Amino acid sequence: MVKIAPSILSADFSNLIADIKKVEVAGCELLHIDVMDGHFVPNITLGPPIIKSLKGKTNMIFDVHLMIENPDKYIKDFVEAGADIITVHSEASVHLHRTIQYIKSFNVKAAVALNPATPLKDIEYILDDLDMVLIMTVNPGFGGQDFIMSMVKKIADLKRMIDSKNLKIDIQVDGGIKPSNVHLVADAGANVIVAGSAIFNSDNIEETVKAIRTNASK
Ligand code: DX5
Ligand code: ZN
């Protein structure tokens, strides 16, 4: 059974709580919050104050995807704002092992994201320390981009790597996922599905969430 994590990047920011309620009612488990700094990625989104303002207004897990340089500097702020899972990019952290331990020291879950061009070997020796690995299926920075098909093999390779070590680590995918292609990533081993535009731009959020869940298990 997959978990679904709608990305609020594609929500209506002038009506954020209303949109969040819709995905919560539709049964989504996680709220995917994309933080961009205009340096690591060519876009700027939101920071701790907005996350803090949403905390307590929904029971969904706050899944905070940091697309920022120097993440260590801000991790404490995101924990205090209410993050339950913090994902940092391997490309943005020079001392990734230290960053992961730092996240875990706050008793929140730690995850590492890999850009499409980044090899799995970058996390090979820290895999045991992770709660989740995020395979980017687009280049980070914007919602609504096309799914990169070659990432299916990367997901399958990661799944094999995790299984061969007998670990229980979630595999999250993010970018260009919709009802019509979710089976590809789910078959390959992904169990946490991020979807932004597919969910929030749809006419019927509940139906779309249901379609993602059903198609993932086909
Ligand atoms: C991309 C973000 C994604 C994005 C996904 O940099 O990390 O979470 O919002 O949006 P869709 O599902 O529209 O590709
Ligand atoms: Zn994301």
Tell me how far the alpha carbon of residue 7 lies from the centroid of ligand 2, in angstroms. Answer: 6
DSSP 8-state secondary structure symbol assigned to residue 87: E
Q: Quick check: 141 and 42 in contact, CB under 8 A?
A: yes
Q: According to the annotation, is 19 in a ligand binding site?
A: no
Residue 218, pLDDT > 90, answer: no
Architecture of domain 3-216: Alpha-Beta Barrel (3.20)
Rounded to whole angstroms, the Cα distance separating 185 from 31 reads 19
Give domain limits for the chain.
Answer: 3-216
pLDDT digit string, tens, across residues 21-47: 999 999 999 999 999 999 999 999 999
CA-wise closest residue to 51 among 68, 72, 65: 65
This prediction's pTM: 0.98
| Catalytic one of 37, 131, 170, 174 | 174
pLDDT digit string, tens, across residues 52-90: 999 999 999 999 999 999 999 999 999 999 999 999 999
Residues in contact with ligand 1 (CB, 6 Å cut-off): 7, 9-10, 32, 34, 65, 138, 140-141, 143-145, 174-177, 194-198
Q: Does residue 12 have an active-site annotation? A: no
